Amino acid sequence: MKSDINVAQDAVSKFWGVDTGSFKGSKISIGSSNIGSIKKGANVSKEMLTDLSDLATCIKKQADKFKDLATIIQARDTQDRNRFSGGK
């Protein structure tokens, strides 16, 4: 059994490429409609984009914890290996 920080880093690296700020403040264009439900729908869409951006930020923060945890586990595995192999 072996822990490897590179495997953990590779697993979460895809999250780092996500631009979490790209949706915040986005404008939703509905043309010249005066229908209230369409305007409300546009506002909901804008709120959803902001919420998705916030969610992506949270996911990135949690993914970074995997790297830290993998580092700790890898160090512990190295200590265990040395202890069980008689320090060889």
Structural domain boundaries, residue 71 = 5-17+24-84
Q: What is the pTM of this model?
A: 0.50
User: Taking a C-beta distance cutoff of 8 angstroms, is the pair 82, 15 a contact?
Assistant: no
pLDDT for 55-66, tens place per residue? 888 888 888 888
Helix 36-84 to helix 5-16 angle, to the nearest 10 degrees?
170
Which of 32, 27, 58 lies closest to 45, judged by CA?
A: 27
Question: Tens digits of per-residue pLDDT, 30-52?
Answer: 666 678 887 788 788 888 888 88
Look at the chain and report how many structural domains it folds into: 1
Q: How far is CA 65 from the centre of its chain?
A: 10
Query: In the structure encoding, which two tokens stand for residue 27, read together?
Result: 């404008």
